[in-house]
């Protein structure tokens, strides 16, 4: 069953948020040696891919995958700056802005 386009985009956004969760979660698993962070990370991974699959019932695969990874990339980069003190140089922030522009462009073009 095909989803309404707005619902597919909402599901894709949720999948992207879960991708951020598992990417950041990997840092806290300490190589999957900590039980709770490892379980939460694995659940986020599975849920993210399932939601991506649901969104793909309606959205083009190239667009959906690029948006999904873009959301994950931007969110993970920003949280890396906030949570782990990674550098927030002008060039890095400009590159993040370019990824956001690409995500918006793909959404508009879909």
Rounded to the nearest 5 degrees, what angle is found at the Cα of 39, between the Cα atoms of 38 and 41? 65
CA distances from 23 to 3, 7, 37, 45, 48 (A): 27, 24, 11, 9, 11
pTM score: 0.90
For 31-84, the pLDDT digits (tens) are 999 999 999 999 999 999 999 999 999 999 999 999 999 999 999 999 999 999
Using CA atoms, how far apart are residues 20 and 26, in angstroms rounded to an integer? Answer: 10
């Amino acid at each position: 069953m095909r989803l309404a386009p707005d619902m597919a985009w909402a599901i894709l956004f949720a999948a992207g948020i879960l991708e951020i969760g598992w990417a950041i979660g990997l840092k806290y698993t300490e190589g999957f040696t900590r039980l709770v962070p490892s379980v939460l990370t694995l659940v986020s991974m599975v849920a993210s891919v399932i939601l991506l699959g649901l969104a793909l019932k309606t959205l083009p695969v190239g667009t959906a995958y690029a948006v999904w990874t873009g959301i994950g990339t931007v969110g993970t980069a920003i949280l890396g700056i906030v949570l782990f003190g990674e550098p927030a140089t002008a060039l890095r922030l400009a590159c993040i802005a370019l990824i956001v522009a690409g995500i918006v462009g793909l959404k508009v073009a879909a």
